[in-house]
Amino acid sequence: MLQRFSFVLILVLALCLRLINLGEYGLNTDEKFTLLNIHGICVGGYNQPELYDKEVFTPKDYWKDRNLQDYYQAVARADFGTHITHNTLMHVWVKVFGKSDIAMRLMSVLFSMLLLVMIFWFCKDLLDSVPIGLWAMFFVAIDPLLISQAHFARSYSLSFFLLVVASYLFLKLLKSDSKNVKLAILYAAVASLSLLNHYLNFVILLVHVVIAVVYLRNAKKWYFLLGAGAFTLAVMAYWMVAGGGQWSMQFLEDKNALHLALSKLPYLENPMRGIVEPSTLTNVSKMASSMILDANVFSFDFLPTFNGIRNLSIFIVFASASLISLVFFKKYSKFILGVIVVIAAGAGIVFFNGFDKTLLLRGLLLFAVIYGISLSKILRKYVVFLILASILPLLYVIFDAFKSGHTTSLSHRYIANSIPFIAMLMAVGFYGLIQNFKPFTPVFILLLALQLFPLGKELNLIFEDVSARYSFRTEARIPNPYWAVAEKVKSNYNKGDTLILPSFDGNVYTGHLGEAEKPKSILDAQYLNIYFEPNDYFIQRIDQSEPNKVFLQKENGERLLLFDFNNSKYRY
């Protein structure tokens, strides 16, 4: 009964955290790309020449019929051919629930909630532990990055869900005693969908390959896995040759060249400073350390709290020595753990101020949890799988950063596909710790509760839309300005009026990524007209000399100001 109550309580908590301020802030750039792509519209107007060629146009011109190639072109020219699984579902979703910001983002919330259920089932069925499933659910429910991604109408929440499902099916296939064709077919389908949803998901599927090579000795199961792999490769081959992925490599090449050039600019001249930096050892180590530490609740926000890598490194040496002592002197482990707690508490009081006096103790909890993994009775191959799925995504983005020469890949969201597996691994360790050191359970729970304070501060920043870490913002967005302008037009437009739209060319990607520089920008026209219907008769004109203001020009020549974008301030 208590376990069922805990399950429901965690789901309610997760849902509340994912719904807070869900529709309060306007769509960001990636979300606007999604909104155009799901309607077969190329960002920048590759398949909308009428917006460039005609002096005036109406929503009817904008909403001309689209074919399959339009959808391929749209996803290829904005998202290097990825997100197609998400965009296909979103195409249907908006037909049912509409195009409002909150309606679009609710799909991410849905898959974020399904992820929690799938994680619980993964732990209950494969790891044979309901408590581990509940702890893993809790860690995922409160994870700031997963919550922030649930606030975006983007493919990431779907990716996390698909990868956990694919991993469950894969491990289930390895576990089954008899041949299971249906399971293999289902695995092949989900693996293909996850790759089509985002190419970076291949890293988790690579973990599947490694586990199969190390642990699988059944020839028939190898046939099933090879068949599933062949199907997945065939789907991706079609997509990369004839589908929307055919320009992916060129897109990435152009983007990498641009970002490399930006990274070489003087710091204050780089419009993407803080995100796109040169891949020096210092930059990579600092950004990668932040990513991996923030990827689980036990070490969240440690890097800035320790005030740099040097202090963190000293702590890691101390914690590692403590961990080694516990491993090699198991007979005295409870005594050693008590001594470590006393030393850490004393050092924290001496060297830190305020809330941070508990920092060393909270940090040691992380290492204790890692030690708890070794105490767990979970089948070793499952633990190895979770470890690989936790670290390979980080290793790949580090490799990519050094390979490309810039730090674009070192963003928290690019290793987010590892977080569900990190949460399960940490749950294994935490429960193992509790089971083996029951007298210390109140201490473990207290330290975990203390670690929720910095995590809660970050969640508040996310809800206020000022999280530099996850929202890439320090100034909150206003509600969707394009939606607001569309509503004003619908209320104030009369026959004979003309809607005057701005032409803003201040985007960092203008003239790059395989697109020739155009005489005028139609992006504002694209983002606005998406909220009109084909039968809306609003005559519109783009003013090349006006970069910011939207006017409704009345028949007598009077101009009514509808909105001022103020350069990039309100163009999110």
480 to 99, 426, 572: CA distances (angstroms)? 12, 38, 9
Q: Do the beta carbons of residue 427 and residue 10 sit within 8 Å?
A: no
What pLDDT, on a 0 to 100 scale, did the predictor assign at position 328?
A: 72
Pairwise pLDDT comparison (50 vs 100), residue with the higher score: 100
What pLDDT, on a 0 to 100 scale, did the predictor assign at position 190?
A: 98
Which letter does DSSP use for residue 99 in this model?
S
Question: pLDDT-based confidence at 514, cuts 50/70/90?
Answer: very low
CA distance 130 to 4: 10
CA distance 193 to 178: 26
The overall average pLDDT reported for the chain is 91
In-domain check, residue 273: no
In-domain check, residue 62: yes
Q: What is the pLDDT of residues 253-268, one digit of tens each?
A: 888 999 999 999 999 8
Q: What is the pLDDT of residues 70-112, one digit of tens each?
A: 998 888 887 777 899 999 999 999 999 999 999 999 999 999 9
Residue with tokens 């004979």: 496
What pLDDT, on a 0 to 100 scale, did the predictor assign at position 511?
A: 52
Residues in Cβ contact with 393 at an 8 Å cutoff, skipping those fewer than 6 apart: 200, 203, 204, 414, 415, 417, 418
Token code pair at residue 120: 């619980």
In-domain check, residue 426: no
Across the range 7-19, mean pLDDT stands at 98
In-domain check, residue 471: no
Q: What is the pLDDT of residues 424-436, one digit of tens each?
A: 999 999 999 999 9
What pLDDT, on a 0 to 100 scale, did the predictor assign at position 176?
A: 85
Burial of 519: CB neighbours in 10 Å, binned 0-12, 13-18, 19+: exposed
Q: Do the beta carbons of residue 499 and residue 550 sit within 8 Å?
A: yes
In-domain check, residue 328: no
Q: Is the pLDDT of residue 313 over 90?
A: no
In this structure, of 45-59, 336-350, 367-381, 506-520, the range with the lowest mean pLDDT score is 506-520
Domains of the chain: total = 1
What pLDDT, on a 0 to 100 scale, did the predictor assign at position 509?
A: 59
Q: Reduced to 3 states, what is the DSSP secondary structure of residue 343?
A: helix
Half-sphere exposure of 555 toward its Cβ, with a 13 Å CA cutoff? Answer: 6
Closest CA to 546 of 499, 513, 512, 511: 499
Across the range 470-499, mean pLDDT stands at 95
What pLDDT, on a 0 to 100 scale, did the predictor assign at position 489?
A: 98
CA distance 370 to 430: 8
Across the range 473-494, mean pLDDT stands at 96
In-domain check, residue 503: yes
With a pLDDT cut of 90, the percent of the chain lying above it is 71
Q: Is the pLDDT of residue 167 over 80?
A: yes
Q: Reduced to 3 states, what is the DSSP secondary structure of residue 535?
A: coil
18 to 152, 388, 453, 463: CA distances (angstroms)? 10, 28, 18, 9
State the amino acid at position 442 in one-letter form. P
CA distance 525 to 54: 13
Residues in Cβ contact with 447 at an 8 Å cutoff, skipping those fewer than 6 apart: 358, 361, 362, 365
Q: Do the beta carbons of residue 529 and residue 50 sit within 8 Å?
A: no
Q: Do the beta carbons of residue 458 and residue 469 sit within 8 Å?
A: yes
In-domain check, residue 437: no
Read off the pTM: 0.92
Q: What is the pLDDT of residues 217-247, one digit of tens each?
A: 888 889 999 999 999 999 999 988 888 787 7
What pLDDT, on a 0 to 100 scale, did the predictor assign at position 78?
A: 78
CA distance 101 to 546: 27
> Cα 198 to chain center, whole Å?
11
b/e burial code for range 65-87 (CB count within 10 A of at least 16 → b): eeeeebbbbbbbbbbbbbbbbbb
In-domain check, residue 534: yes
Q: How many residues does the chain have?
A: 572
What pLDDT, on a 0 to 100 scale, did the predictor assign at position 352?
A: 63
DSSP 215-238: H---HHHHHHHHHHHHHHHHHHHH
Q: Which residues pair with 501 in a beta bridge?
A: 542
What residues make up the domain containing 541?
Answer: 24-79+480-572
Sheet with 559-564, strands from edge to edge, namely 540-543, 498-502, 549-553, 559-564
Across the range 114-131, mean pLDDT stands at 98
Q: Is the pLDDT of residue 115 over 80?
A: yes
Pairwise pLDDT comparison (251 vs 45), residue with the higher score: 45
What pLDDT, on a 0 to 100 scale, did the predictor assign at position 80?
A: 76
> For the chain, give me the number of helices (H) and strands (E)?
24, 4
Burial of 325: CB neighbours in 10 Å, binned 0-12, 13-18, 19+: middle
